[in-house]
Each structure stands twice: as structure tokens, then as C-alpha cells.
Amino acid sequence: MLLQEYMGKDLLRAAGVPVPAGAVAETAGQAEGIARGMGPVAVKAQVLVGGRGKAGGIKLADTPREAYEAAQRILGMDLKGLTVRKVLVEEQQKIAKEYYAGLTLDRSKHRFILMLSSMGGVDIEEVAVSHPEAIVRTWIDPAYGLQTWQINQAMFDAGFEPSAMKDLRKILGGLYRVMVDTDALLAEVNPLAITEEGRAIAADAKFDLDDAAIYRHPEFAAFGAESITDPIEAYAAEKSLTYVRLEGDVGIIGNGAGLVMMTLDVVKSVGGQPANFLDIGGGARADVIRNAIEVLLKDPNVKGMVINVFGGITRGDEVARGLLEAAKTLDLRVPVAIRLAGTNEEEGRKILEGSDFTPASDLVEATKAVMEQIEEQGAVTAGGHA
């Protein structure tokens, strides 16, 4: 779960990290109030999309009146499909140089890693490709945490001036503490700015929290809804289904992440475009199957469905019942292919006898059949318009 910039900066400020003076506003009036008593400010849209500045979500203001006007223009603005509800109003910084600081998981080393780079302000992933030597890496022992000597060593290796040492300890020490305290998988300050006065300051803040640990952070759980950016994904989350929306028109349901991924691959291999990833998990009962179909139908792009179940703990008869329940209670407006194998496959087939659904044992065949039906439908619709 990604946190908004203002939340990240509040967390850092509370941990003693130097951040620009500022506060969040929900109205233009509030923005003006915050800007009063500050020098020139930046008014920044609080939405979780990349490229806010280019899209007009960040404006500079020299006076409180200008801050009011900037906030009025930004609040309510649509940025890549998201409505701006909050703006961060903060003092503009005179930046002399931009660095990068980030903490993230190094999976192959099984521990977190601190990355520092003198090439800040740009995407660190690009730096990793173009100038891998410009990133200083420090691995952190989870039993002891990030040590001060590690911070010293990393900052000198990354080319910071000795004058920045005190601020760097505050910034990196604080960043590490906040990451651990909030169970973040990514804690990033980019840019970590050196001001014209020679101070180091966290000019931006990005935190991505571990969804598996949200249970111990009730203060962020309430914010969860704000962080889900797609309405269908939000509905699926409500139904405890693992759903990821994609761009195609073939809806996909399966049991187990690996199996669903493989189903996506099969759909693509026969020329289809997956509309989503949906994992019903292990041991799903009929109502879960029905709910999964309901979630897929909420996507207007879906023109057909492929349901792929290999029964282990999940039982074929439950899947069949769920399918019939969906046909009865939902407007099942699209063709559905179902591939059923494993536990209680025969029972499932019996339940579906005489219904509109014929389970296939081969996924590729089932997918091809649905693709053909989608094409036929497309032809009919096109004919109708002509």
C-alpha cells in the first residue's frame, strides 16, 4: 500500500528527519492559511500517480493569494483518472544538488538494502541500468538494524560532503526507523536535496507498506481505501478476492497464483488479451466462484471468460455449483469456458450436465472456443451497426 507524499513526510518529520516546512490542505482557503508566514511555496496534488508535475498537478506560488489560486485549480482536478482531494503546501527549496536514498528488499540476499546515489531526482531504476556504479549498496542485518558506521561509509562512498554528515545520519537513520515501524517494503527519498545553504533535506518521500502487515497498523488500514485506485479492484478486495485489472477483454478466473498466471499466458498464446488476474485461492466454495464471476462482469471490457480450476483443496463440484449460481443470479452476458480437472472433477461435470456449460479438460481448447465465440459476437455487433 503506497502512502501519499504528505503522510510520508509527516512520518519522517516525527522521526526527526529534516523535511520542508508544509502541511496538507483540502480547500483553497486552508492552502492560503498554510502559505501565510512562509516564503514562496509549492502546491502539490496528493494522488498516487507518476508524473504529477508534467500533468499540471504541481504549481509554484510566491504569495498566499497565489497559493489559494493554485490550490483552487488543482483540487478537484482529474489526474490520470484520479480526482485530487488534497494538496500539500510546502516551502520551496533552493536546491544545489540532488541525491537519491532508498531502502528496499534485496530478495536474493534475504535482507533489506540501503541504496545511495549521487544521481538523484531521476528514476533509480534507470540509474541502475545506465550507471550501476553510481549506486552505493549497503546490506542491513535484520537482527541489528542499520548502523551509524554503515551510514558514514555509504555517504562518503556516494560522494556527500562531510558537512552533510549530521543531516545524513538524521535522514537515513530516521528513514530506516520509519520503514521498520511501518513495515514498509520500500522507503525512498528522491530527491534527497542539498540546499544552497548546505543542508540536507528530504524533498520527497515515498513509502510502500507491506499489505501482509497492515493488521498491526490500524492507523493506515483506514487509508487503504484511498490507496486502491481501481473501483473493481476495490470491490474484489471487499470480497477477499485477489484481483488485478489488466487491459484486455478475456476475463480470467483460476485457483492459485501460478495457475492463474499460466492461464494468462495461454490466453495470450492463442491470440487473446487477458482482462484481469483473479485468484480464488485454495478451497473456494460455490459462493466464492459466483462472486469472482460477478467481479469480472463489472468490467465492461470483458467479452468472454476462461475459468481454469485444478482441484486440490478446491473441489470441482463446488466450482460447478458456483457457476450455476452465477448463471441464475447474474446477467451472464458473455461466453464462458471452463476447464475442470483434479479433485471431484466428475462430480462437477455431472452437476453441469444439461446446463449451458461444458467443461473441457484441455485449457487451450477451452480458451480457443471462447475466443471464437467472442469473435462471432464481434462480427454480429459490427453487422448490426452497419
Decide if residue 375 touches other proteins (CB under 8 A).
no
Nearest alpha carbon to residue 345 among 332, 329, 330, 362: 362
Nine cell digits for residue 86: 488534497
Nine cell digits for residue 173: 537513520
Decide if residue 2 touches other proteins (CB under 8 A).
no
Check: CB of residue 183 under 8 Å from CB of residue 209.
yes
Among 32, 98, 183, 226, binds other proteins (CB under 8 A): 183
CB neighbours (10 Å) of residue 115? 20
Determine the longest span between alpha carbons in the chain, in angstroms: 79
Q: Is 100 a catalytic residue?
A: yes
Decide if residue 312 touches other proteins (CB under 8 A).
yes
**125: CB partners within 8 A, 6+ apart:** none
Binding window for other proteins (CB under 8 A); candidates: 30-38, 83-91, 125-133, 322-330 = 125-133
Among 141, 365, 372, 375, binds other proteins (CB under 8 A): 141
Among 76, 81, 149, 212, binds other proteins (CB under 8 A): 212
Interatomic CA distance for residues 200 and 265, integer angstroms: 47
Active-site residue (options: 6, 68, 100, 243): 100
Check: CB of residue 42 under 8 Å from CB of residue 70.
no
Q: How do beta strands 111-117 and 135-139 pair?
A: antiparallel
Which phi and psi angles does 5 have, rounded to 5°?
-55, -45
- Identity of the residue, 91 or 230, whose beta carbon is nearer to other proteins in the bound complex: 230
- Identity of the residue, 71 or 252, whose beta carbon is nearer to other proteins in the bound complex: 252
Binding window for other proteins (CB under 8 A); candidates: 74-82, 109-117, 164-172, 221-229 = 109-117
Which phi and psi angles does 196 have, rounded to 5°?
-65, -20
**Interaction residues for other proteins, span 262-281 (CB under 8 A):** 262, 264-266, 268-269, 274, 277, 279
* Site size with other proteins, rule: CB under 8 A: 51
CB of 353 to other proteins, least distance (A): 23
Q: Which of helix, strand or coil describes residue 257?
A: helix
- Identity of the residue, 60 or 364, whose beta carbon is nearer to other proteins in the bound complex: 364
DSSP conformation class of 3: P
**Residues with active-site annotation:** 100, 188
Q: Which residues bind other proteins (CB under 8 A)?
A: 105, 107-108, 110-112, 124-125, 128-129, 141-143, 180, 183, 185, 210-213, 215-216, 242, 244, 246, 254-262, 264-266, 268-269, 274, 277, 279, 282, 310-313, 341-343, 364
